């Protein structure tokens, strides 16, 4: 069994001989479309595809799961079950407990099984290339949305893309409602953290410009923040402590700097959009603790956690300040809300997959350095962790791939130290 596990882990870091069949390809095309491009549009169908994909890898491929990864999931599942009982003892509604079972226990396991199988079958390099393709589709979908909405075209399709379509063009900026913006926080951070994953320099520059234009015209601070986080990771991971700039690195730096400049000029001259308006709003939200609303109930969550001596109030328990009338126990600041519900020890347990993944990435970077695909994963993960404290994507089944994919790779595969060709 140990030999099989080591062989499997080794396969994750090498470019594998892809052994797929039409069923596997159809499952991933359907699942990726419903969770990356159209998240929240057809959630029931997306969950069905996730179930089928996990079942495929359990009963057909029978890939083993790394013991450390499974142990982390068991610790989180046990903590969740304990605090479901604590919450119910304190009057939490049954609906809250059932949602925790799905979001904290069942769906992460399904994603671990599915993405574990994808890494073993396709390898990290092919997955990143596919995500780059999805990035292009995401940008195209936003362009289609902005073209169709003002003229009232394709209203049914826009409803699938946004739920309640809306587009605001005022004050020298654009803001819209689109489900795909959540996925962009991972896709854009990964691209800007490792633009070298695109071999053709012309394509690289075009996609960087298009991604930047997409981010600043989204009206979503989280998407703009993802671009900044990705660029910062690229500079730090590439230059490091040596401060030596190679030829390829020089072009990457030029592309990341020139891309936003070209995109900003294009938006300003043709549409009168000032990119600095969106950037200033982002800075204001960061300095104010998340902007209006979040800064109002953040102190209440911290105070509520202190009232229970940081041992946890239980799942389904909220504070007096409510954000949602339908789900009064839900809050967008996931970190503080988690501290309230499961206490300090429970919060540390919930953070274990991120702690182990980041530690594995740091150790691999020190030993051998991260390759371009691993830098992409690291950028997406760090961006998702930052955004998690303003938008509860980690608590949505359709967005959990952004957290599970990099954690599964770094915990399960990166420790072999092998480079992807």
DSSP secondary structure letters along 30-93: HHHIIIIISTTTSHHHHHHHHHHHHHHIIIII-----HHHHHHHHHHHHHHHHHHHHHHHTT--
Percentage with pLDDT > 70 across the chain: 80
CB atoms within 10 A of CB 409: 26
Q: What is the mean pLDDT of the chain?
A: 84
Mean pLDDT on 260-274: 63
Long-range contacts of 167-173 (CB under 8 A, 24+ apart): 168/219, 171/277, 172/272, 172/273, 172/274, 172/277, 173/216, 173/217, 173/219, 173/273, 173/274, 173/277, 173/278
pLDDT in tens, 8-24: 344 444 444 456 688 99
Mean pLDDT on 192-214: 90
Mean pLDDT on 283-288: 59
Mean pLDDT on 159-173: 84
pLDDT of 6 over the 70 cut: no
9 token code pair: 């882990």
Percentage with pLDDT > 90 across the chain: 53
11 token code pair: 């396969």
The whole-number pLDDT of residue 329 equals: 84
Residue 56 or residue 244, greater confidence: 56
Mean pLDDT on 219-233: 90
* 292 phi and psi angles, rounded to 5 deg: -60, 140
Residue 238 or residue 370, greater confidence: 370
The whole-number pLDDT of residue 290 equals: 56
Residue 241 or residue 276, greater confidence: 276
The whole-number pLDDT of residue 361 equals: 92
The whole-number pLDDT of residue 265 equals: 61
Q: How confident is the model at residue 175 (pLDDT cuts 50, 70, 90)?
A: confident
> How many angstroms separate the CA atoms of 391 and 335, rounded?
11
The 8-class DSSP code of residue 310 comes to T
Mean pLDDT on 402-419: 77
The whole-number pLDDT of residue 421 equals: 32
Predicted model pTM:
0.88
The whole-number pLDDT of residue 370 equals: 87
> How many angstroms separate the CA atoms of 294 and 126, rounded?
39
The whole-number pLDDT of residue 10 equals: 44
Q: How confident is the model at residue 289 (pLDDT cuts 50, 70, 90)?
A: low
pLDDT of 230 over the 70 cut: yes
The whole-number pLDDT of residue 8 equals: 38
Residue 312 or residue 282, greater confidence: 312
> How many angstroms separate the CA atoms of 104 and 83, rounded?
11
Residue closest to 111 by CA, chosen among 381, 404, 414: 404
Q: How far is CA 93 from CA 80, 102, 237, 318, 331, in A?
A: 15, 15, 46, 11, 16
pLDDT in tens, 38-71: 999 999 999 999 999 999 999 998 888 888 999 9
Residues 6+ apart with CB under 8 A from 325: none
Least confident interval from 14-28, 175-189, 272-286, 329-343: 272-286
Classify residue 111 by burial, with Cβ atoms within 10 Å: 0-12, 13-18, 19+: buried
pLDDT of 286 over the 70 cut: no
The whole-number pLDDT of residue 170 equals: 74
């Amino acid at each position: 069994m140990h030999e099989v596990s080591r062989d499997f882990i080794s396969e994750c870091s090498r470019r594998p001989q892809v052994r797929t069949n039409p069923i596997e390809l159809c499952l991933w095309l359907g699942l990726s479309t419903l969770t990356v491009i159209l998240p929240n549009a057809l959630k029931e169908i997306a969950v069905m595809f996730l179930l089928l994909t996990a079942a495929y890898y359990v009963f057909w491929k029978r890939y083993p799961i790394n013991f450390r990864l499974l142990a982390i999931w068991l610790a989180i599942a046990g903590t969740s079950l304990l605090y479901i009982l604590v919450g119910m003892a304190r009057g939490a509604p049954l609906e809250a407990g059932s949602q925790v079972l799905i979001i904290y226990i069942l769906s992460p396991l399904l994603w671990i099984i599915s993405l574990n199988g994808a890494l073993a079958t396709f390898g990290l390099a092919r997955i990143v290339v596919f995500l780059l393709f999805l990035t292009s589709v995401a940008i195209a979908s936003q362009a289609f949305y902005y073209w169709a909405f003002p003229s009232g075209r394709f209203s049914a399709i826009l409803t699938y893309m946004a739920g309640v379509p809306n587009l605001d063009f005022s004050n020298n900026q654009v803001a819209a409602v689109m489900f795909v913006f959540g996925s962009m926080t991972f896709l854009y951070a990964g691209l800007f953290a490792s633009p070298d994953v695109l071999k053709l320099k012309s394509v690289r520059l075009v996609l960087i410009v298009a991604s930047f234009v997409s981010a600043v015209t989204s009206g979503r601070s989280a998407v703009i923040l993802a671009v900044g986080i990705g660029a910062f990771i690229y500079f730090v991971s590439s230059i490091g402590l040596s401060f030596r700039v190679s030829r390829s690195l020089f072009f990457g730096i030029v592309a990341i700097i020139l891309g936003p400049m070209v995109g900003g000029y294009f938006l300003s001259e043709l549409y009168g959009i000032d990119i600095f308006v969106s950037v200033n709003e982002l800075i204001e939200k960061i300095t104010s603790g998340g902007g209006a609303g979040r800064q109002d109930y953040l102190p209440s969550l911290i105070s509520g956690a202190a009232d229970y001596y940081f041992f946890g109030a239980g799942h389904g328990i909220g504070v007096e300040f409510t954000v949602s009338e339908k789900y009064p126990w839900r809050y967008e600041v996931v970190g503080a809300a988690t501290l309230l519900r499961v206490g300090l020890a429970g919060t540390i347990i919930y953070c274990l997959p991120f702690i182990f993944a980041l530690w594995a990435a740091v150790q691999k970077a020190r030993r051998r350095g991260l390759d371009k695909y691993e830098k992409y994963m690291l950028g997406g993960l760090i961006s998702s962790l930052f955004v998690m404290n303003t938008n509860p994507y980690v608590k949505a089944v359709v967005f959990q791939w952004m957290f599970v994919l990099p954690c599964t790779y770094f915990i399960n595969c990166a420790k072999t130290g092998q480079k992807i060709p």
